[in-house]
C-alpha cells in the first residue's frame, strides 16, 4: 500500500514540476512587452531599465527560471502588473470562491448523476433510461457558456430572481447571516448551471458501467444464491462500480477546472478563473502564471486524492507490491 | 452505406455543409453589413412593431401608397440621387387625415434624417424627438409622391427603420443575425474538422511509435499523454491564443497539439495487441523494415477505429473553439458562433432582452456537436456491431 501511495505521489510531483516548466515557458513567451504595459512609453530608457531590474526581467532566462521556481514554491507570486497589489493577496481572496463553486457543483452533480444512472441501469427500456441517455448526449454537445447565458437571461434579466453578476451585493450586507445568505443567493445560479451541465455525463457513464456490471457472472451467482436485491445492488454491483467511477472523475477534473474560467466569466464571479482571463488578456505575467499554477495545483491535488481513494476501493491495487496483509 | 443514408445526422451535416459553402449567397448584403436598427426583433416575433422597409420613387414611378398598421417607425430617412435637379418639384408626404408635408425639393445630394433639427423645423415640427412620430401619427393609408411637373431623372430612396428585421433579427450593430449565423457555420466546421484531422494524425503517429517501438519511446510519449490529460487545458489554450495571435489556422494548430492524447492511447493499445501477432512476427522474420510494417499492416488495421474516434473528437474541437471565441480570444474580424455569444454578453443583449442573439449561435453549436456524435456512434457500431442498440440518437 505504501509503495502505491509513494508512486502516485511521485508522479503527481513530476506533473507539478512539468507544469512549472510549461508555465514559465508559456507566460514568458507571451507577446507584448510587460514593461511597456506598466510604464509610459515616454519614460527615459534609464527608467525603463530600472523598472526591468525591479521586476527581474533583465536577468538571463535560466536565472529568471530559478527565481521563478523558488518564489512559486513559497507562494510568492510577485506583484501584479495591472493592479499593483501582491498576486498572492489577489488569489487568496478569490480561491475560496472557485473552490466553493467547483466543489459544491461537483458533489451535487456526481450524487444526482450516480443515482439516476443506477436507476436507469436497473430499469432498462424505461422512460428514465431514455432521459438519462439524452441528458448525457446533450451535456456533451451544449456549450457551457451558452446554457449559462440562457439561464442568466431567463432567471436574472427577464425574471429578476437572481443577481446578474458578482459574488456579493455592492455594498455587501452587514452581519454574518445576511452576508452568508447574500453569498448563497449569488452562487445559486452558477452552481445550478454547473450541476445541470454535469449530471448528464455522470448519469450516462454510471448507466453504461452498471449495465455491464449487472451482466457479469458474479451478479448472476449472487442472484442464484438468493441474496436480497438490495444487497446485490449496493454490496456487489455498486462496490464494483466505484473504482472505474473514480477513474472517470480523475479524467474529468481538468475539464471541470477549465470550466471555472468560463463560469466565472459568465457570472462575473470573483474567482481565480476570471482573474486568469483578465491577466492573460492584460499581459500580466505574474498574475497569469500564478493563477494557472494554482488551477493546475488544484487539479493535481484532486487527482492525487482520487488516486489514493482508488487504492482504498480497489482491492487489487491494495494487494499490489509490498502492500496488503 | 445504406445505414448512413437513414441517419438524420448525415442529412443534417449535408445541409449545414451546403449552407457553409453557398449560404452567404442567400443574403443580399454581406454578413458584416449593418442592415437595420440595432437589436431589431425577428420579423415573425412582434407583429405590432413596424418592419424595416425601403421605398423608392423615380421619374417613371412618381408615387407610392402605404397601408400602415403599426406604430411610428424608429427612424425615417430619405435620400435623393439625381444628375438633373428639379428645384420646383417636391417630395410630398400625405398622412391619413389629408394633411400633406412638403419634405424636400428634388435637389442634388439631399440626405435627410428624422433626427435632423433643420429637417424638423422645415416641416414646422418641434426640434425634439424624431420626425417619424409626426410623420406617422396613426394607422391608415399614407401616400408619398412627387409634386409638380417637369423634366427630372433620378431616384428618391426612403428608409423606414422599424423594430423588426429578417428571420432572426439583428445584433447590437444592426447586422443580420441570420447572415451571421450562416457565416458562423464555416468557422465551426473548418476548425472542428481540421483540428481533429491534425490531432488524429499526431495521435496516430505517436501511438504507433509508442506501441511498436516500446521502451523509452513508449515511456516518454505515455508520460506526455498523462501530463496533458491531467492539467486543465483551457488556460493553456488561452495563453497560446494570446501568444500566437488569434488567426484561425493558429487556433487549429493549437487545438490539435493539445487533443491528440485519446487517439494516441487507442492506437497504442491496438498496436500492442497486433505487434506480437503471428503474421507481424513473420514479416519481421522476412526482414520487412519497421516503416513498412507500420504503414502497410498496422495502420490499415487501426483505420476503422480511427475514423470513429475522429468523428467523436470533432465536438471537442468545436466546443473549444467556441469557448475561446466566447472568452474574446479569437480574431474579432472573423465571424463565429462563439464570437456572436461573446458580443451578445459584452454588448448589452441582456439589457435589450435580445434573446434572439443568444439562441441561434448556441443551438447551432449544440446541433453541430450532436450531428458529429451521432455519426461517430454510427461508425463505432459499424466497427464493433456489439455496440448496436442501447444508445440514443
A-chain residues near B351 (CB < 8 A): 157
Q: Which of B17-31, B141-155, B356-370 has the lowest mean pLDDT?
A: B141-155
Mean pLDDT in residue range B295-312: 87
**Residue B393 above 60 pLDDT?**
no
| CA dihedral (B217, B219, B225, B231) positive or negative | negative
Q: What is the pLDDT of residues B243-281, one digit of tens each?
A: 777 788 888 998 999 899 989 999 999 898 888 888 888
| CA–CA distance, B246 with A272 (Å, rounded to integer) | 23
Chain centre to alpha carbon of residue B271: 40
Q: How far is CA A23 from CA A3, A18, A19, A140, in A?
A: 30, 8, 6, 29
Q: Which residues contact A102 (CB under 8 A, 6 or more apart)?
A: A194, A256, A257, A259, A260
A-chain residues near B367 (CB < 8 A): 141
Q: What is the pLDDT of residues A186-206, one digit of tens each?
A: 999 999 999 999 999 999 999
Q: Which residues contact A87 (CB under 8 A, 6 or more apart)?
A: A77, A78, A79, A80, A286, A287, A290
Asked if A187 contacts A101 with a C-beta cutoff of 8 angstroms, the reply is yes
**Residue A151 above 90 pLDDT?**
yes
B370:A137 CB<8 A = yes
Nearest chain A Cα to B230, which residue? A254
A300:B230 CB<8 A = yes
Top residue of A17, A215, A258 to mutate, by most chain B CBs within 10 Å, is: A258
The angle that helices A127-141 and B359-383 make with each other, rounded to 10 degrees, is 110
Order of strands across the sheet that contains B86-94: B63-68, B140-146, B86-94, B100-106
Residue B26 Cα, gap to closest chain A Cα (Å): 27
| CA–CA distance, B148 with B90 (Å, rounded to integer) | 7
Q: Which residues contact A43 (CB under 8 A, 6 or more apart)?
A: none
B305 pLDDT band, cuts 50/70/90, is: confident
| CATH 1.10.3720.10 assigned to B177-386 | yes
DSSP states along A23-67: HHHHHHS-SS-HHHHHS-TTS-HHHHHHHHHHHTTTS-HHHHHHH
- Please return the burial class of A309, using the count of CB atoms within 10 Å of its CB with bins 0-12, 13-18 and 19+: middle
Most confident range, picked from A158-162, A275-279, B37-41, B191-195: B191-195
Phi, psi values for residue B140, rounded to 5° = 145, -165
Q: Quick one: chain A helix, strand, coil %, rounded to 5?
A: 75, 0, 20
B-chain residues near A149 (CB < 8 A): 341, 344-345, 358, 362
Provide the pLDDT for residue B183: 93
The answer for A75, left when phi > 0, alpha when psi is -120 to 50, beta otherwise, is: left
Mean pLDDT in residue range A263-273: 93
Mean pLDDT in residue range B368-383: 90
Nearest chain B Cα to A27, which residue? B239
Mean pLDDT of chain A: 84
Q: Nearest CB to B242: which of A30, A145, A211?
A: A30
Q: What is the pLDDT of residues A166-178, one digit of tens each?
A: 888 888 888 888 9
Q: Which residues contact B32 (CB under 8 A, 6 or more apart)?
A: B175, B335
B365:A138 CB<8 A = no
Asked if A9 contacts A304 with a C-beta cutoff of 8 angstroms, the reply is yes
Q: Nearest CB to A137: which of B227, B239, B393?
A: B393
Top residue of B242, B261, B341, B344 to mutate, by most chain A CBs within 10 Å, is: B242
> Above pLDDT 90, what percent of chain A?
32
Residue A227 Cα, gap to closest chain B Cα (Å): 28
Q: Look up the CATH architecture of domain B53-161.
A: Sandwich (2.60)
ipTM for the complex shown: 0.85
A258:B353 CB<8 A = no
> Above pLDDT 70, what percent of chain B?
98
A303:B230 CB<8 A = yes
A18:B227 CB<8 A = yes
Q: Degrees (nearest 5) of the Cα angle B85, B86, B92? A: 120
Domain locations along chain B: 53-161, 177-386
Provide the pLDDT for residue A37: 56
**Residue B194 above 70 pLDDT?**
yes
Domains and CATH numbers, chain A: 99-318 (1.10.3720.10)
Most confident range, picked from A300-314, B131-145, B171-185: B171-185
- Under 8 Å CB pairs connecting chains A and B tally to 144
**Nearest residue to B153 via CA among B89, B82, B87:** B82
**Nearest residue to A48 via CA among A37, A60, A62, A61:** A37
Provide the pLDDT for residue B389: 54
Q: Nearest CB to B366: which of A15, A141, A211?
A: A141
B366:A27 CB<8 A = no
Most confident range, picked from A183-187, A309-313, B129-133: A183-187
Q: Nearest CB to A146: which of B227, B240, B362?
A: B362
Q: B53-161 with B177-386: one CATH topology?
A: no
A288:B239 CB<8 A = yes
Asked if A213 contacts A237 with a C-beta cutoff of 8 angstroms, the reply is yes
Which one is predicted more confidently, B181 or A317? B181
pTM comes to 0.85
**Nearest residue to B148 via CA among B61, B64, B65, B86:** B86
Provide the pLDDT for residue A317: 64
**Nearest residue to B93 via CA among B54, B146, B56:** B146
Nearest chain A Cα to B392, which residue? A133
Amino acid at each position: 500500500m505504501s509503495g502505491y501511495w509513494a508512486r502516485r505521489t511521485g508522479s503527481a510531483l513530476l506533473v507539478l514540476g512539468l507544469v512549472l516548466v510549461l508555465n514559465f515557458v508559456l507566460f514568458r513567451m507571451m507577446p507584448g512587452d510587460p514593461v511597456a504595459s506598466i510604464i509610459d512609453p515616454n519614460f527615459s530608457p534609464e527608467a525603463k531599465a530600472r523598472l526591468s531590474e525591479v521586476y527581474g526581467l533583465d536577468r538571463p532566462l535560466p536565472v529568471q527560471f530559478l527565481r521563478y521556481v523558488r518564489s512559486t514554491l513559497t507562494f510568492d507570486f510577485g506583484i501584479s502588473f495591472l493592479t499593483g497589489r501582491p498576486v498572492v493577496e489577489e488569489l487568496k481572496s478569490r480561491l475560496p470562491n472557485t473552490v466553493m463553486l467547483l466543489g459544491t457543483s461537483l458533489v451535487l452533480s456526481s450524487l444526482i448523476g450516480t443515482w439516476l444512472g443506477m436507476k436507469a441501469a436497473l430499469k432498462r427500456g424505461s422512460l428514465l433510461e431514455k432521459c438519462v441517455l439524452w441528458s448525457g448526449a446533450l451535456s456533451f454537445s451544449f456549450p457551457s457558456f451558452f446554457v449559462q447565458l440562457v439561464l442568466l437571461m431567463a432567471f436574472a434579466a427577464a425574471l429578476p430572481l437572481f443577481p446578474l453578476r458578482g459574488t456579493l451585493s455592492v455594498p455587501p450586507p452587514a452581519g454574518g447571516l445576511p452576508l452568508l445568505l447574500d453569498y448563497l443567493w449569488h452562487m445559486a445560479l452558477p452552481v445550478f448551471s454547473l450541476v445541470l451541465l454535469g449530471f448528464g455525463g455522470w448519469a450516462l457513464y454510471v448507466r453504461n458501467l452498471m449495465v455491464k456490471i449487472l451482466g457479469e457472472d458474479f451478479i448472476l451467482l449472487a442472484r442464484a444464491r438468493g441474496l436480497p436485491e438490495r444487497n446485490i445492488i449496493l454490496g456487489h454491483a455498486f462496490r464494483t462500480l466505484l473504482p472505474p467511477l473514480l477513474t472517470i472523475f480523475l479524467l474529468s477534473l481538468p475539464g471541470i477546472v477549465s470550466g471555472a474560467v468560463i463560469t466565472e466569466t459568465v457570472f462575473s464571479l470573483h474567482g481565480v478563473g476570471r482573474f486568469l482571463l483578465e491577466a492573460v488578456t492584460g499581459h500580466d505575467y505574474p498574475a497569469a502564471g500564478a493563477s494557472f499554477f494554482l488551477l493546475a495545483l488544484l487539479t493535481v491535488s484532486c487527482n492525487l486524492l482520487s488516486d489514493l481513494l482508488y487504492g482504498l476501493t480497489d482491492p487489487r491495487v491494495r494487494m499490489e507490491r509490498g502492500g496488503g496483509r | 452505406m445504406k445505414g448512413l443514408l437513414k441517419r438524420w445526422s448525415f442529412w443534417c451535416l449535408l445541409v449545414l455543409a451546403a449552407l457553409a459553402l453557398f449560404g452567404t449567397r442567400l443574403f443580399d448584403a454581406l454578413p458584416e453589413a449593418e442592415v437595420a436598427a440595432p437589436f431589431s426583433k425577428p420579423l415573425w416575433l412582434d407583429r405590432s412593431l413596424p418592419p424595416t422597409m425601403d421605398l423608392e420613387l423615380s421619374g417613371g414611378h412618381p408615387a407610392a401608397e402605404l397601408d400602415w398598421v403599426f406604430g411610428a417607425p424608429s427612424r425615417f430617412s430619405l435620400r435623393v440621387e439625381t444628375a438633373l435637379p428639379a428645384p420646383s418639384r417636391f417630395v410630398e408626404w400625405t398622412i391619413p387625415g389629408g394633411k400633406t408635408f412638403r419634405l424636400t425639393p428634388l435637389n442634388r445630394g439631399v440626405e435627410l434624417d428624422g433626427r435632423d433639427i433643420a429637417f424638423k423645423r422645415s416641416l414646422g415640427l418641434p426640434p425634439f424627438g424624431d420626425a417619424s412620430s409626426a410623420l406617422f401619427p396613426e394607422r391608415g393609408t399614407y401616400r408619398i409622391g412627387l409634386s409638380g411637373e417637369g423634366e427630372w431623372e433620378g431616384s428618391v430612396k426612403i428608409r423606414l427603420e422599424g423594430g423588426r428585421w429578417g428571420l432572426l433579427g439583428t445584433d447590437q450593430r444592426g447586422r443580420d443575425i441570420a447572415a451571421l449565423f450562416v457565416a458562423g457555420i464555416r468557422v465551426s466546421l473548418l476548425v472542428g474538422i481540421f483540428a481533429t484531422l491534425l490531432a488524429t494524425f499526431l495521435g496516430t503517429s505517436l501511438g504507433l511509435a509508442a506501441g511498436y517501438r516500446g521502451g523509452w519511446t513508449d515511456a516518454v510519449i505515455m508520460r506526455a499523454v498523462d501530463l496533458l490529460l491531467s492539467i486543465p487545458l483551457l488556460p493553456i489554450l488561452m495563453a497560446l491564443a494570446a501568444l500566437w495571435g488569434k488567426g484561425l489556422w493558429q487556433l487549429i494548430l493549437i487545438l490539435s497539439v493539445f487533443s491528440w492524447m485519446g487517439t494516441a492511447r487507442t492506437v497504442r493499445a491496438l498496436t500492442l495487441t497486433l505487434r506480437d501477432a503471428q503474421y507481424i512476427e513473420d514479416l519481421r522474420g522476412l526482414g520487412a523494415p519497421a516503416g513498412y510494417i507500420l504503414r502497410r499492416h498496422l495502420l490499415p488495421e487501426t483505420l476503422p477505429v480511427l475514423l470513429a474516434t475522429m468523428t467523436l473528437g470533432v465536438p471537442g474541437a468545436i466546443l473549444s473553439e467556441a469557448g475561446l471565441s466566447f472568452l474574446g480570444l479569437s480574431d474579432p474580424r472573423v465571424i463565429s458562433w462563439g464570437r456572436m455569444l461573446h458580443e451578445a454578453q459584452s454588448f448589452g443583449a441582456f439589457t435589450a432582452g435580445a434573446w434572439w442573439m443568444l439562441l441561434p449561435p448556441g443551438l447551432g453549436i449544440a446541433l453541430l456537436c450532436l450531428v458529429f456524435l451521432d455519426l461517430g456512434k454510427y461508425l463505432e457500431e459499424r466497427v464493433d456491431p456489439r455496440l448496436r442498440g442501447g444508445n440514443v440518437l
